[in-house]
Structure 1
């Protein structure tokens, strides 16, 4: 959901919010150690607060923020006035894509220490999320450590933010522990949480755990391409190429290999398995025929190699002829010359060797030797 949609949803819920405010507020952090203040607006500043909120409700963000700034700077305002104005200003800044200002306002809201626990800790949690968004990972982690320590929260949506910060800081073992705690505490964990846990396992060398989790997720979602590709990634991480190929083949049979990268993944996987070069060639040809695999240098080079190592020399030569003009240098022309020479197609080999030198090779003498061969 983008910020504009968030604004629309929030303002669409205002009537419900007003009804809810008439009832006793739900205590969001019942185990918080913070002794919350009385949280009452001062008589002198109440008119300003009302004006700010009227502008806020009318979607006049810049005007509401200006009033908020006035309240924050007003020495006659109390801690609640200051903190509440900073909290509203933070939301307005966020809505205006001014994340740096939103972070500044949230820090002020916490420093003023005038909100009730619901407002205070909601501001703290928003601060941690924005710090994470802005790549301030160490700051986000510090904010979340404080948040979790003071609120005693074990809610998965809170734990995952800390886990994400730990992952970004490359503390993968620590990240995997708390991300797993978040997933275990959630009745329906989000798929990106699961991906983050698998990535943490993989980065910390816990490939067995990563694979076990990926297999469990994939088995529950047999038609979910993303879940299946995550399983492929864990198999590849563990050098289990045969298992990775099997999963990709199931996707191919189901018509789910519909992107260029999908076909490249499958043929590259087959090329890692001895004796599967013919399968790699079949995959490449299918991808090219369907127009899914781009007919570029890498595809034709892989096709040439697949044919060559599956003893299909003539098709290999034809693929090399397509790859060589697209290559960044003359090395592919030189390989073509070598194969042609092996097949006693000397005139063609000489011509390919000349093309190799013209395009540039690391060892031009190798090409010159082919050019110097007897025969036209």
Structure 2
């Protein structure tokens, strides 16, 4: 008869999955006040049909830009719309924009420009779906210069990504890159992001790396997205290199260090994960329940590190950071048991068993008590196991049949 819990079954029960704590990759950046004012000035000049030639932001574009001119009638209507826009009367401005868009008597430029303003107003009002609809109209009318036209297209790709329209975002990004021939990293990354969301990880990694390589100072969020793509594609070593580089630049950034540990864990480099986590703990940065769980789970999955796991759990409980729940106590019991601290293991099992979802923990407690020749206590634990429910009641009944009170 097997008197004691097996190492495999108990340690698997205690293992805690670790997850990367990446910051969300920015999909649409809200305009700050300076950018918004600049955009307003540009829109105002455009509505007047300004002859000032703006810098061509897409010099390699395949599209031939149409003449951007407003008619006398259309110009007056656009001016009225922009007066509302400048005074931040969004509802009035949007109503005029809708009127211009719906009237086929207005030319392509006037309707495209109205749709562009409608998109900005909808976006400012947190109505991204409406903004996307306006941007589609702006592109369909095809009346804007290349800056406006492709600016609308890029904004649409970002908003589609934000709205979880990943396939549409990828299609828009592909069209944008094909028609502009842009190699700017801020444009390339949107395509990589969409590919990642579509779970096309090899393609995503390639696209994201292209954006990073094109940038003199790639954003940390981009590197994190590449790291996540590598992990999803089972390229743990490549992910680890990126995580290490990020962490090296920010040695005091807890999130960066925890990410390194998580990547190591997912790449089965648990010894390295433990070293990183111990550094974070030594720095006094274990301030959350999940921090302690990540470290003790790492130790429990390393041979011969049960004593270290017990120390981590005990510290977390004593500091009041690690929650005193079933998972913590059963892990502590197992840690003590496999580090030959049987008496402490029994105490921990006694705390874990009442919190367990079934009677299996009581049964393990009964087995350990039997091993220590504490027969009456073993029988009581076996009774509790049966009452709470176990997969193999015969195991508990054999303990109940033992001689002794």
- TM-score between the two structures when normalised by the length of structure 1: 0.95
**Separation in 1 of the partners of 2:242 and 2:31?**
33
Of 301, 308, 322, the residue aligned with 2:337 is 308
Could you tell me which residue of structure 2 aligns to residue 96 of structure 1? 125
Flag structure 2 segments of 5+ consecutive residues without an equivalent. 1-25
1:226 aligns with 2:255: yes
Could you tell me which residue of structure 2 aligns to residue 242 of structure 1? 271
Please tell me whether the aligned partners of residues 11 and 57 of structure 1 are also in contact (alpha carbons under 8 angstroms). Answer: no
Post-superposition Cα deviations, 1:4-53, rounded to whole Å, max 9, x if no partner, equal 97475555557865899885422111111110011111211212111111
**Separation in 2 of the partners of 1:321 and 1:152?**
67
Could you tell me which residue of structure 2 aligns to residue 136 of structure 1? 165
Cα distance, 1:120–1:15 mapped onto 2, change above 3 Å: closer
Count of aligned positions: 376
> What SS does the aligned partner of 2:73 have?
coil
> What SS does the aligned partner of 1:252 have?
helix
1:290 aligns with 2:334: no
Q: What's the offset of the Cα at 1:205? A: 2.3
**Separation in 1 of the partners of 2:381 and 2:151?**
69
Q: What's the offset of the Cα at 1:114? A: 0.3
Bigger drift between 98-107 and 296-305 goes to 98-107
Q: What's the offset of the Cα at 1:138? A: 1.1
Q: What's the offset of the Cα at 1:220? A: 2.0
1:277 aligns with 2:306: yes
Cα distance, 1:4–1:106 mapped onto 2, change above 3 Å: closer
Mapping 1:317-328, distance limit 5 Å? 317-328=346-357
Cα distance, 1:183–1:80 mapped onto 2, change above 3 Å: same
Q: What's the offset of the Cα at 1:199? A: 1.0
Could you tell me which residue of structure 1 aligns to residue 392 of structure 2? 363
Please tell me whether the aligned partners of residues 103 and 131 of structure 1 are also in contact (alpha carbons under 8 angstroms). Answer: yes
**Separation in 1 of the partners of 2:256 and 2:314?**
26
Q: What's the offset of the Cα at 1:238? A: 1.6
Post-superposition Cα deviations, 1:165-200, rounded to whole Å, max 9, x if no partner, equal 111111111111111111122222211111100111
**Separation in 2 of the partners of 1:237 and 1:14?**
45
**Separation in 1 of the partners of 2:214 and 2:326?**
49
Flag structure 1 segments of 5+ consecutive residues without an equivalent. none
**Separation in 1 of the partners of 2:133 and 2:62?**
25
**Separation in 1 of the partners of 2:395 and 2:175?**
66
- TM-score between the two structures when normalised by the length of structure 2: 0.88
Cα distance, 1:18–1:117 mapped onto 2, change above 3 Å: closer
RMSD (CA atoms): 2.1
Mapping 1:117-266, distance limit 5 Å? 117-266=146-295
Please tell me whether the aligned partners of residues 28 and 158 of structure 2 are also in contact (alpha carbons under 8 angstroms). Answer: no
Mapping 1:7-156, distance limit 5 Å? 8=33, 10-13=35-38, 24-156=53-185
**Separation in 1 of the partners of 2:170 and 2:36?**
31
Could you tell me which residue of structure 2 aligns to residue 345 of structure 1? 374
Q: What's the offset of the Cα at 1:97? A: 2.1
* TM superposition outliers: structure 1 runs of 4+ over 6 Å: 1-5, 18-22
